[in-house]
Amino acid sequence: MPYQSPYGNLTATLVVVAFLDLVIDRLLGHLFLSPACQTGISCLLLRGGPFLMHLTGALALIVGAGGILGHLRRAELFPRGMRLTVALLSATFWLLVTLFLLFGRIPERYQMHLQTSFGFVVALLALSFVGSVAPARMRVGFGLFALPTLMHIAASVAVRGGWLSHGPISPERLISLGELGLLLAAFTSPLLLLPAQNPTSRLGAGLALAAGVSAFFFVAFLGRADLVQTVALYGVQLELPRAMSTLGAFYVMALFGFVTTVAVLLLSAGPFRLSGLGICLIGLAGYQASSPVSLGLSLCGLLALATGLVRANSSLNPGNRKAPLSAEAWKSALGAIASAVADAPTVGGAPVLVEVLSAESSGTGTDANTGSVKVERRGWTVTLKLRRTDSMVRDIEATVGTPGDTPPDATIESHEAWLGRREQDRVRLPRMKSGDPSFDRKLGVHGRAPVHEPALRRRLLRLAEGTITLWTGRAARFVAPGSPTETLRRFAMPTGAAADRAFVDLIDTLIDLIDASQQSAPPDAA
């Protein structure tokens, strides 16, 4: 099982320090304390403000850079093709944050690099989370929190570059739309980000706290609008509307939803608590974040939010693991796969030429099941070998036909898989190109393989996480070992309609590849 770091110990420390920095440096230091030391406490607070700001930046650097490096190492969030780009952009951003912490400022000419690198890392993080295992509602909720940040960065970059000064999309309009998006994200967060099953006591505590905070905010806003407005500007960097207005009511409802989500997530255990800490960091960073420390807090918050939601919905999360299958249940599951793949006549509801060769189940240590089936489909003998661990298919080997002992005539696999092999294990066949740039950029074909048909290429791209071996006109084999990649997720167990279609598509693709190779083979190879 891939290693997962503890759920937010250092992130929780960052939240506490960032909150102290908000209160002491950004609020007390700028609003309520005189620049001249008059008492010992005021002098201590004035001196402690810059220290807390630098401590917050240093912790954000450790949490953010370490979190991204961990994701790149564990392949937990970022897809393979995106990792180099994320590594370079995040290294640029955190290097500029480090320069700020060391020298107290960043030269003006590097401000654009700071904001653009931050914006691109956030955009890639959002795109990676959209393709993750999290439910659709949580992906929408995360996108609503990431989009306002991207719109603010786009507005800031446009102002610095002198773009969008005229026209319907101005920087001011982008900032206003981002503010509305942030309010929508906070208001809908209880529906989009909270786990499906919440104990009544936990949800009730969150609602009670949210009601109290929202009521206090509304009363204070009515009585001391100037003070609340100033605190909002220096704290979360939002300009509040009039309290007795439609937008003012929307602010109160957004605060209610935000506090509810934060309270319920922090009261939860495991990865959901990490998501709650991430939302706290997003709030502490503020909306119109411009300093390197605030941008670092915002990136740490989005990263913690995405990490918690992905882990909470991953098969690696102990709470999501299913009980080990018994030998009979595993044999029944293999029989269901065979029934879906086989096209032989049935007797009594069971296919004739279906054979469950083996079915082993072990509940010791990990949920591990191995097994193989043999069926007939479209006149070809099909053998499937599967291994299921932690409620996810980890290894698939599908063979159509009889390869024999002869070496293969072609292999089709990703360039990363080919380069990852040892020199002696690489295929000693010349590489051929299909003429399709998107296909050739993703997959490498070594030897003679019939990849001239666009429809067949599209189907082969769906199996890009595995290796296809071809014996011209005789056999084909697909092997996908290792971690639960996108390809293997389509074959998740226990079987259902989606998994059955995935296995059928896999076998039909191999059979069509054999038929196409037989038709395109030269006379001496036929």
Rounded Cα distance between 247 and 159, Å, is 26
* pLDDT: which is higher, 211 or 172: 211
Could you tell me the two tokens for 102? 């060391």
The pLDDT assigned to 117 comes to: 93
Q: What is the pLDDT of residues 477-492, one digit of tens each?
A: 998 876 444 444 555 5
Confidence check: pLDDT of 356 > 60: no
Higher pLDDT, 440 or 337: 440
Given this model, what pLDDT does residue 350 score?
46
Given a contact cutoff of 8 angstroms between Cβ atoms, the answer to whether 174 and 165 are in contact is no
Q: Please report, for the chain, the start and end positions of each structural domain, with discontinuous segments joined by +.
A: 9-314, 327-520
Structure-token pair, residue 144: 């609503």
Q: What is the pLDDT of residues 375-433, one digit of tens each?
A: 888 889 898 888 776 556 678 889 999 888 888 899 998 887 777 777 777 777 888 88
- Report the pLDDT averaged over residues 228-233: 82
- Which pLDDT score is estimated for 287? 83
CA dihedral 219, 221, 225, 226 (to 10 degrees): 110
The least confident of 148-152, 170-174, 487-491 is: 487-491
Record the tokens describing residue 385, joined without a space: 């070998």
How far apart are the C-alpha atoms of 60 and 278, rounded to whole Å? 12
- The pLDDT mean for the chain works out to 80
Dihedral through CA 329, CA 332, CA 337, CA 339, nearest 10?
-170
> Residue 465, SS3?
coil
Query: How would residue 36 be classed by pLDDT, with cut points 50, 70 and 90?
Result: low
The 3-state secondary structure of 358-421, one letter per residue:
EEEEECCCCCEEEEEEEEEECCEEEEEEEEEECCEEEEEEEEEECCCCCCCCEEEEEHHHHHCC
Burial pattern 153-186, b for ≥16 Cβ within 10 A else e, equals bbbbbbbeeeebeeeeebbeebbebbbebbbbbb
Query: What does the pLDDT look like over 57-80, one tens digit per residue?
Result: 999 999 999 999 988 887 778 877
SS3 522: coil
DSSP string across 62-120: HHHHHHHHHHHHHTSSS-GGGHHHHHHHHHHHHHHHHHHHHHS---GGGHHHHHHHHHH
8-12, 26-30, 262-266, 327-331, range with greatest mean pLDDT:
262-266
The tens digit of pLDDT for each residue in 83-113 reads 889 999 999 999 999 999 998 888 888 888 8
Give pLDDT tens digits for 270-302. 889 999 999 999 999 888 777 899 999 999 999
Number of separate helices (H) and strands (E) present in the chain:
17, 11
pLDDT band, residue 521 (cuts 50/70/90): low
Looking at residue 165, what is its pLDDT?
Answer: 59
**Upper half-sphere CA count for residue 203 (Cβ side, 13 Å):** 9
- The pLDDT tens digits of the residues spanning 320-343 come to 555 555 667 777 777 777 888 887
Closest CA to 461 of 482, 483, 436, 484: 436
pLDDT band per the 50, 70, 90 thresholds, residue 360: low
pTM (whole model) above 0.75? no
Q: State residue 47's pLDDT score.
A: 67
